[in-house]
Amino acid sequence: MGRTDEAIEPRHVADVVLRDGSTMRLRPPLSEDEADILSFFRDLSDRSLTQRFHGHPTVDERLVLPVLDPDWNERGALIGMHGSRVVALAGYVRLRDPRIADVAFAVADEFQRRGIATRLLEQLALAAASAGIEEFVADVMTSNSAMLRVFADAGFEATRTSAAGETEVRLRLAPTETFQISADERDHRAVAASLRPFFAPATVAVVGASTRRGTIGGELFRNVLRGDFAGAAFPVNRTAEPVAGVQAYTTVADIPVAIDLAIICVPGPAVFAAADEALEAGVRSICVISAGFAEVGAEGRERQAQLLALVRAHGARLLGPNCLGIAVARPRLNATFGPRALPPGNVGVSSQSGALGLALLERAGARGIGLSSFVSIGNKADVSSNDLLEYWEDDPDTEVVVLYLESFGNPRKFARVAQRVARTKPIIAMKAGRTASGARAASSHTAALAGSEAAVDALFHQAGVLRVETLGELLDATALLAGQPLPRGRNVAVLTNAGGLGILCADACEAAGLELAPLAAETEEALRPLLPVEASVANPIDMLGSATAETYERALPVVLADPGIDAMIALFVPPVVAGAEEVAAAIARAVETVAACDKPVLASVISADGTPASLARSSVTPFSYPESAARALGRVAQRA
Amino acid sequence: MGRTDEAIEPRHVADVVLRDGSTMRLRPPLSEDEADILSFFRDLSDRSLTQRFHGHPTVDERLVLPVLDPDWNERGALIGMHGSRVVALAGYVRLRDPRIADVAFAVADEFQRRGIATRLLEQLALAAASAGIEEFVADVMTSNSAMLRVFADAGFEATRTSAAGETEVRLRLAPTETFQISADERDHRAVAASLRPFFAPATVAVVGASTRRGTIGGELFRNVLRGDFAGAAFPVNRTAEPVAGVQAYTTVADIPVAIDLAIICVPGPAVFAAADEALEAGVRSICVISAGFAEVGAEGRERQAQLLALVRAHGARLLGPNCLGIAVARPRLNATFGPRALPPGNVGVSSQSGALGLALLERAGARGIGLSSFVSIGNKADVSSNDLLEYWEDDPDTEVVVLYLESFGNPRKFARVAQRVARTKPIIAMKAGRTASGARAASSHTAALAGSEAAVDALFHQAGVLRVETLGELLDATALLAGQPLPRGRNVAVLTNAGGLGILCADACEAAGLELAPLAAETEEALRPLLPVEASVANPIDMLGSATAETYERALPVVLADPGIDAMIALFVPPVVAGAEEVAAAIARAVETVAACDKPVLASVISADGTPASLARSSVTPFSYPESAARALGRVAQRA
């Protein structure tokens, strides 16, 4: 993952996710680490020690001193920490030819085969390259196949020379595309594994689950129960009083089963102790709902840094703090404190603002949008939308991704990952803080620093991310992508019973970059007998106010069959002859009967009673207004 | 009114509205009019003849020949027609000094005092000025005070010299501002009078009212009854079978009372005969619902020209053809064939598209918008939105005007009238056909030729008309203007329980040209005790998720009292502690308690159940999304 948070960490400190999804902090070894590093060497097995030193050295301070306090020019070194224990060490020493450095690794026996050496190599290579070193050389015992594989798979251009049981490996540090792809693949597998307990926990502890209604912890725990969670949930509170009929515990450690995910709802200052207790009890996925961290100023930032360091020391991952929680459709987990259940579906939502998440959940149902998962990332001290993209990429339940962003942690990483994911799953993004007022408000909200707007636009464009500007557009575009195939092109047919609506829609289509292509001659021929002579079979197709439900049902498949048409927008306003409900039902039926309709069909049926129920239930996407349908289709067609 | 329709009428033909609201066609006298003009002179009273000729001439062809077939250079002349009868004559003759022409008038005795001479003078002056004539001179008998008043009030710079019972009047034809204002005032009074029977008829005939349900005439007549019309409505159809329980007649002439307004719903080719019959029966306001006129090509254009000429010949006015009808709140008249009743209120709506009108009526109720009157102008052969603006200017029931336009008949006239009306009543306009696709669709719809977009924007801007782009924005801006005072400036306060919503709204406010001004120090002081310490009292004011209905009720008046704030947007998304209904009710109550609140308050309460009922009933304007509230306020603040 290679995430470095410059805001709170010194240079050369990196938090990495390992192959099994656990995390590890890598940092330079300092003088005060001498004893711990000595212990690390002493604890190595004979085999590991031989592989490191190509013999049996005396293990004393002479082995340790050369790696302490690296200057990064002549010497670079990193140790991997598990809590306060050193479990890995790697370093380089520059040779007489200053373009080359010698490099060597050691990993505690019980921590081997988790990808730690690979992560150390990546980080050391970055540091060496910035010191002007062009090549790493390593002498590896030919029998040490694990280490040889590390060098082979890292993605650097490598050469090997073997002689007398030793293999000399030379790595060109200039980053190659192969290196980037290899690093991304490692990241991807590791991050997805690290997030699994958030998305598919068998056991959840809610720390701070109060017996009182109206409290965040109390409501969140009840939401878990109300959602009919497929796993087991355990309330944790000071008194161990049962909550909503479920036995409670005073600490996570008291719970008789292992806990996959701990949701922490205690007040900000009490979060560290609660997290520590859960981590000590073996929990590796922590979600902190509580506020009072980086969003409230210097003291909060310090509190957040301490919490993150604690989580790292345990190789765990942290969602939040200052968030609404997480809800996932498949295990029926609603670990949020909002008032709405998650409508199940195929959309993965990441929201940097809890409120936006709440708003989206309030409106999703009415808009016919279902969610595979909803993740409120809050201050995103650790888990970011980049990580969620990595998870959703492989998640079979997620077909569309929605991101609400107030800031970017790592824009280059975002661009790489989003571009890859967007190839198979459309990504819709809304970025707030696009004006000065909005950016000012954002900075006091989730401690976010907004980037330049032009840069954000370029970033989204390059990555193939569909950017929307407003909450209404977000819902419209999501409803369309969640329910319909992508259009193959920009040619849209507009079918209406009212000329005025057709004009509005034509205007909005053109403004949205769509084209009202002429229909094929055969299509016009096939339409004419269905319509009065005064009707216009040009596009927009004005069937006139006399059009009935049957007219729609017969005309719609004819137009959809036109090979020059990539998508259709059907419009209706009730005149004297037909009612909104019956026409809506006819439109829905017509689309069902088009065998394997692979073109998106949008409809705006304008009625005092709102969207007719038959449309809301159908495979047609309903819109309040002709223009909002055109705008949503225009956005989506950017991917055509 | 001075409307000349170049498309169907030769030069120097003008239809004018007279002081009493009747209309008259002015045209040049041709050779074949000789006998009719002779009759006109013969029928003049002695007094009128003397005033015209300053003596008693022999009335024969020698009086008539000089005015026939004017060349407009040496001689100009116009006659006023009432049906096929000549009822007025005026002409000029160029003098030896070519900058000057002599001018004289005669009006049939029973047509005097209706402003005909003034209209003739206006039209002659236009023609003379384009021939390079700079001054009119007229010798008027000093006893002819009516004629002297015509010259004095026309608005031209005038000088008088009196001697021996005669007054020489000289008019400078260069149009002065006074001339324009005088002409506009005459237009205004005349047009308003001519439209009164449409808006306040005591009796309405529905020609083509069928006994059958589902027909346009049948539904329209039933709508009149269902609307509880305050006057009397009479169905007219071929069989005279009663319609919906009301006695029917075979012709308008058979109806035992005088009819103020005839609504014609018969098929296009039968319209002329039906209109003729109604006009002969004395009806002076005709609304033609039927299609099949200029919107269907050359034959239809000819049919429309004939219909208009017929209406003119009777001095009547024509609404439509190809329209949805008219509905007016005060007499509870719903003479449309749409399925919705008119929600009564203060908004006057003119729609060039019936469908847009239907769509607006479908959504108005839910949006809390009430209408004073709804006029579908269709092909606007005669009555245009310019005329309606003149009527609504004085209509005490209309406080906001909404125009849906597909084309401009007379843009200069629109600019002058709209600018005057917009000073007291906000005008919201949507102009369709702004893109090539839309314009193409519009031309086959209501026979409209769309103008250049930049010109339209400039026109609206100059006239102080608020332009909206979409149907949703039209409803939003109308709801705001119909229910709230205008903001005095662009400074808006945003009050929210959710930071993310505040950011979205701040972005949208800035994009809409509004400013989130800092609050006064006293306002911040007064807010702090109401909110948790972590809340932000900067603008947007983030009261945090713990804010209750009471918090809103207490904070809202404090912010509204800030003298630097011109408007407020209150946002809410239900968190754990408060429900949408109770917060909405609190916001509504808070605004009621601010005595004489003269600042607009907008609210977006995001709830799965839609807009809370208490908000919809209150003086707060509700919006679906924070961004739509910001956009509507931004539009309206253009008038601040």
Q: Does residue B207 carry a pLDDT above 90?
A: yes
pLDDT, greater one: A83 or A137: A137
Average pLDDT in the B620-624 region?
92
The answer to whether B470 contacts A625, with C-beta atoms less than 8 Å apart, is: yes
What is the residue-wise DSSP string for B305-332? HHHHHHHHHTT-EEE-SS--EEEETTTT
Question: B404 and B469: one domain?
Answer: yes
Query: Is B182 part of a structural domain of the chain?
Result: no
Task: For B353, name the nearest residue in chain A, comparing CA atoms only.
Answer: A500
The minimal CB distance from A435 to the residues B406, B506, B542 is found for: B506
Q: Is the ipTM of this complex over 0.90?
A: no
Question: B507 and B458: one domain?
Answer: no
Query: Is B191 part of a structural domain of the chain?
Result: no
Question: B402 and B551: one domain?
Answer: no
In sequence order, what are the residues at sequence separation of 6 or more whose Cβ sits closer than 8 angstroms to the Cβ of residue B62? none
Write out chain A residues lying below 8 Å of B434, CB-based.
507, 511
Q: Helix (H, G, I), strand (E, B), or coil: what is residue B216?
A: helix
Distance, in angstroms, between B541 CA and closest chain A CA? 9
A469 touches chain B (CB under 8 A): yes
**Contact, A158 vs A121, CB < 8 A?**
no
Please, which residues 327-386 of chain B have a Cβ atom closer than 8 Å to chain A?
337-340, 351-356, 358-359, 362-363, 365-366
Q: Does residue A4 carry a pLDDT above 50?
A: no
The minimal CB distance from B577 to the residues A214, A433, A502 is found for: A214
In sequence order, what are the residues at sequence separation of 6 or more whose Cβ sits closer than 8 angstroms to the Cβ of residue A244? A221, A222, A225, A235
* Residue at a domain's end among A446, A462, A481: A481
**Contact, B75 vs B67, CB < 8 A?**
yes
* Residue at a domain's end among B481, B502, B528: B481
Question: A156 and A207: one domain?
Answer: no
Query: Is B216 part of a structural domain of the chain?
Result: yes
d(CA A326, CA A342): 10
Query: Is B86 part of a structural domain of the chain?
Result: yes
Sheet with A400-405, strands from edge to edge, namely: A333-336, A325-328, A371-376, A344-351, A400-405, A427-431, A466-468
Is residue A184 very low, low, confident or very high in pLDDT (cuts 50, 70, 90)?
Answer: confident
**Contact, A606 vs B356, CB < 8 A?**
no
- Report the pLDDT value the prediction gives residue B294, as an integer from 0 to 100: 92
Write out chain B residues lying below 8 Å of A511, CB-based.
434-435
The answer to whether B516 contacts A628, with C-beta atoms less than 8 Å apart, is: no
pLDDT, greater one: B408 or B513: B513
Write out chain B residues lying below 8 Å of A403, CB-based.
none
**Both tokens of residue B486?**
């205008």
The answer to whether B573 contacts A355, with C-beta atoms less than 8 Å apart, is: yes
Asked which of A424-433, B228-237, B372-381 is least confident by mean pLDDT, the reply is A424-433
Question: B77 and B208: one domain?
Answer: no
Write out chain B residues lying below 8 Å of A626, CB-based.
471
The per-residue b/e assignment along B257-296, b for 16 or more CB within 10 angstroms, e otherwise, is eebbbbbbbbebebbbebbebbbebebbbbbbbbbbbbbb
Question: A454 and A545: one domain?
Answer: no
Q: How many Cα atoms within 13 Å fall on the side-chain side of residue B158?
A: 18
Query: Is B85 part of a structural domain of the chain?
Result: yes
Question: B519 and B633: one domain?
Answer: yes
Mean of per-residue pLDDT scores for chain B = 89
* Residue at a domain's end among A175, A207, A240: A175
Task: For A439, name the nearest residue in chain B, comparing CA atoms only.
Answer: B503
What is the residue-wise DSSP string for B387-427? HHHHHHHH-TT--EEEEEES--S-HHHHHHHHHHHHTTS-E
Write out chain A residues lying below 8 Å of B336, CB-based.
none
Q: Does residue B451 carry a pLDDT above 80?
A: no
Distance, in angstroms, between B608 CA and closest chain A CA? 4
Q: Where are the alpha helices (DSSP H) in B45-86?
A: 46-53, 61-64
**Contact, B402 vs B379, CB < 8 A?**
no
Could you tell me the CA-to-CA distances from B487 to B93, B564, B565 in Å, in that order? 57, 12, 9
Q: How many Cα atoms within 13 Å fall on the side-chain side of residue A368?
A: 22
The minimal CB distance from A506 to the residues B340, B435, B624 is found for: B435
d(CA A244, CA A229): 14
d(CA A49, CA A107): 10
B451 touches chain A (CB under 8 A): no
- Report the pLDDT value the prediction gives residue B3, as an integer from 0 to 100: 38
d(CA B485, CA B619): 10
Q: How many residues make up chain B in this entry? A: 640
The minimal CB distance from B353 to the residues A219, A366, A499 is found for: A499
d(CA A402, CA A383): 16
Question: B289 and B203: one domain?
Answer: yes
Could you tell me the CA-to-CA distances from B106 to A500, B45, B51, B85, B413 in Å, in that order? 47, 11, 8, 14, 29
Average pLDDT in the A145-152 region?
89
**Best CA proximity match to B408, nearest among B372, B361, B366, B442:** B442
Query: Is B259 part of a structural domain of the chain?
Result: yes
Task: For A434, name the nearest residue in chain B, comparing CA atoms only.
Answer: B507
CATH number (domain holding residue B107): 3.40.630.30
Question: B582 and B602: one domain?
Answer: yes
Task: For B512, name the nearest residue in chain A, comparing CA atoms only.
Answer: A435
**Both tokens of residue B420?**
């005057």
- Domain total in chain B: 3
Selected residue of A340, A474, A503 to mutate for chain B interface (largest B Cβ count, 10 A): A503
Question: A394 and A542: one domain?
Answer: no
Q: Does residue A2 carry a pLDDT above 50?
A: no
List, for residues B602-613, the tens digit of each pLDDT value: 999 988 888 888
- Report the pLDDT value the prediction gives residue A436, as an integer from 0 to 100: 74
The range of the structural domain enclosing residue B522 comes to: 485-637
Question: A135 and A256: one domain?
Answer: no
- Report the pLDDT value the prediction gives residue B612, as an integer from 0 to 100: 83
Query: Is B2 part of a structural domain of the chain?
Result: no
List, for residues B468-477, the tens digit of each pLDDT value: 999 999 999 9
Selected residue of B371, B435, B576 to mutate for chain A interface (largest A Cβ count, 10 A): B576
Is residue A7 very low, low, confident or very high in pLDDT (cuts 50, 70, 90)?
Answer: very low
Task: For B354, name the nearest residue in chain A, comparing CA atoms only.
Answer: A500
Write out chain B residues lying below 8 Å of A215, CB-based.
576
- Report the pLDDT value the prediction gives residue A232, as an integer from 0 to 100: 97
Question: A492 and A522: one domain?
Answer: yes
Average pLDDT in the A51-60 region?
86
Query: Is B7 part of a structural domain of the chain?
Result: no
Please, which residues 553-592 of chain B have a Cβ atom closer than 8 Å to chain A?
573-577, 579
CATH number (domain holding residue A594): 3.40.50.261
Strand runs labelled E in B353-491: 371-376, 400-405, 427-431, 466-468
